[in-house]
Amino acid sequence: MKAFFKFIIILFPWFLSSSIPIDKTYYNSLTLPFFTPPPIAYGIIWSIIYIGISISIYQILNAKKRKDIPNSYKYTLFINYLANQSFQPIFFLLKNTFLSFISCIATFLTSLFLYKETKDQKESSAKFLIIYILFSLFASILSLAIYLLNLN
């Protein structure tokens, strides 16, 4: 039971940005590219990704003492977390498609660094980040397309 609660504590912060209200009127007013997934897909995909990230972190925390985890991993994880969590408020509160694209690019790039840092710590934990990298790349392409289609 202790392991379950530890996992939940790791998982919970990744869902914080989902508490930001989604402005459906704004989203529906945008011109979206043909390859835009249906809105329900985002919640499913990001939930799977956040669970994978949390499993990866959990495994590293179980394999090493906290003091033995290098600062480079901790900083990379923190910067990636900030980049990841920045999208929702930028897109739905600021309604800024360009900064949303920058947020996606930052998430994608830092996910690559997080993969490398994770692999250095525990190679088997890095595999849980592959879907994150792939979807972050897709999200960056999608975000760029939305930005370009909605230039005014």
Domain span at 97 = 2-149
* Percentage, residues of the chain above pLDDT 90: 94
Q: Which residues of 82-114 are buried (b: 16+ CB within 10 A; e: fewer)?
A: ebbbbbbebbbeeeebebbbbbbbbbbbbbbbb
Distance between start and end Cα atoms, the chain: 53
Give the count of domains, the chain: 1
Cα–Cα dist 74/63, whole Å: 15
DSSP structure string for 67-100: GGS-HHHHHHHHHHHHHHHHHHIIIIIS--HHHH
Question: Rounded distance, CA 122 to CA 73, Å?
Answer: 11
Is residue 57 very low, low, confident or very high in pLDDT (cuts 50, 70, 90)?
very high
- In terms of DSSP H, where are the helices of the chain? 2-11, 24-29, 39-63, 71-88, 97-121, 123-126, 130-149
Given a contact cutoff of 8 angstroms between Cβ atoms, the answer to whether 110 and 52 are in contact is no
Check which CATH number belongs to the domain holding 94 and give it.
1.20.1260.100
The overall average pLDDT reported for the chain is: 96
Q: In this predicted structure, what is the pLDDT of residue 1?
A: 87
Whole-prediction pTM value?
0.95
Q: What is the mean pLDDT of residues 51-79?
A: 96
Answer with the residue of higher pLDDT: 142 or 20: 142
Residue 137 and residue 108 in contact, taking contact as beta carbons nearer than 8 Å: yes
State yes or no: pLDDT of 152 exceeds 80: no
Q: Give 66-125 pLDDT, tens digit per residue.
A: 899 999 999 999 999 999 999 999 999 999 999 999 999 999 999 999 999 999 999 999
For residues 98 and 151, is the Cβ–Cβ distance under 8 A?
no
